[in-house]
Amino acid sequence: MVFSDEVNDTSSPIRPTYSQYDSDEDFCPYYPQKMDKAVWEKYYQQVKESEGFDITDYPGQCAMTTVYPMPFYLNDPKNVDMMTDYAGKALRQYNDEKGTNYKVNDILKVNGGGCRDFIFYITFSVKTRDDKDDIFQAKVVKDLRYRLQFPLVRPKVKAFIG
């Protein structure tokens, strides 16, 4: 693996970036297996295209993963309640900005990320004015003082086909 920083000086371990791989057997993930470049490429593409909400190809625990699925997080009713509260607050911001009156119906999925602040990527269903279901996404940032920010609240983006 080749490390470099902003000025291409490899002597500083403080802020390494991973510019290219020179081996199929790099150290990530944290358990012994070969590095699968195709999975990493799919992972980064999915993170970029979905902005962290839809990841189906997760390469495993590693410092290079910025967003990760939390498949068992919603098994705990306390977590479901907390995510419902966060989604409700995010949706209230959306409703105020757009003049709508959506209500959170169900939490469908949660991804996580972040370092200093924790980021929840929440996918949830809402009830529309005419009592139909729609899917929304909210990026919820929880800082060290437990303050919440909602930098992204939107209807789920439909995948582009073609």
Share of the chain above pLDDT 90, in %: 52
162 is a domain residue: no
The type of residue at 39 is V
How many CB atoms sit inside 10 A of residue 35's CB?
17
pLDDT for residue 142: 95
Whole-prediction pTM: 0.76
Q: What's the total number of domains in the chain? A: 2
Could you tell me if residue 55 is inside a domain?
A: yes
Instruction: Give the structural domain span for 87.
Output: 73-155
Shared domain check, 79 and 45: no
Q: Are residues 150 and 84 in the same domain?
A: yes
Go through 67-99 and write b for each residue having 16 or more CB atoms within 10 A of its CB, e for each that does not: bbbeeebeeeeeeeebbbebbbbbbeebeeeee
Q: Decide if 58 is inside a domain.
A: yes
Structural domain includes residue 79: yes
91-137 pLDDT, tens digit per residue, is 999 999 999 999 999 999 999 998 888 999 999 999 988 888 999 99
The neighbouring-strand residues paired with 152 are: 139
Residue 61 pLDDT class (50, 70, 90 cuts): confident
Token pair 């709508």: residue: 100
22: three-class secondary structure by DSSP: coil
E-strand spans in 37-158? 67-69, 103-114, 118-127, 133-142, 148-155
- Are 84 and 54 in the same domain? no
CATH number at residue 135: 3.10.450.10
Tell me, yes or no, whether 46 and 86 share the same domain: no
